Amino acid sequence: MAGFSGKTVLVTGSGAGIGRATALKFAAEGANLVVSDIHVPGGEETVAMIHSAGGKAMFQHADVSRLADVAALVAGAVDQYGQLDCAVNNAGIEGKIAPLADQAEDNFDAIMRINAKGTYLCLQAEIRHMLQAGGGTIVNLASVAGLIGFPGLSPYVASKHAVIGMTKNAALEYGKAGIRVNAVCPGGIDTRMLDSLAEQATSGAQSSSQMMDPLHPLGRIGTPEEVANLIVWLSSSEASYMLGAIVPVDGGYVAQ
């Protein structure tokens, strides 16, 4: 894979899970990392992991649903490293499981605020800088829930369909300006989010692996590192003709 030496990469929600694995992978490829999360201890731990491996990273707290936080995040990346070459908009929440008619308004609002509005605000700030810089790459974290429905998760499904729509539009609007925007759609991945959903769905009777392994044709859930590998590749020059792509990384889930 083409290396990222000297390039600056921003990863939101990188205090754990897919975001952390992605930050570590970019750092191993030589990038300067801007680690961001609403949870400070997790973000600082990711930075410490990168530093212990000999990489470069800084942490900046941000709530991606707040315009001021997002503006400060991108500005902080540029102030620290002089540029922003790649961004990964990963921050997101799953919310509560319930049939659509029983969903609480505040659950819907919270999910859309973080997953949809957060991605929107990040895209705006990142693209504005990349236009001035002459290009860049952005990978948005959607989900297989952005491709198909999941009973009980209407707000989450809506939010991830929104992410896919924004990805396609941003790609069409800014591809000729040298900004490549793509999205990945993870299936069941071994993360805190999947653990939360399994806890809600089975009242703790099954682990996320026990619940989800049989649903994937590959026979298992994935790892954050497997998603990170795809994200980093999409951000590299090896994926130079990828634009507006919506790529499942799901063990065959949506092929069924």
Query: Which entry of 81, 156, 174, 253 is annotated as an active-site residue?
Result: 156
Instruction: Tell me which residue of 139, 159, 228 sits closest to 191, measured CA to CA.
Output: 228
Distance in angstroms (rounded) separating the CA atoms of residues 231 and 183: 8
* One-letter identity of residue 100: L
Q: Which residues does 91 contact at the CB level (< 8 Å), separation at least 6?
A: 12, 13, 19, 36, 37, 38, 64, 114, 118, 122
- 78: its two tokens: 């540029």
Q: How far is CA 160 from CA 22, 138, 156, 183, 220, in A?
A: 19, 16, 6, 10, 23
Looking at the DSSP bridge assignments, the partners of residue 9 are 33, 86
Looking at the DSSP bridge assignments, the partners of residue 164 are none
Asked if residues 86 and 4 have their Cβ atoms less than 8 Å apart, the reply is yes
Q: Please confirm, yes or no, whether 156 is among the known catalytic residues.
A: yes
Q: Catalogue the active-site residues.
A: 156
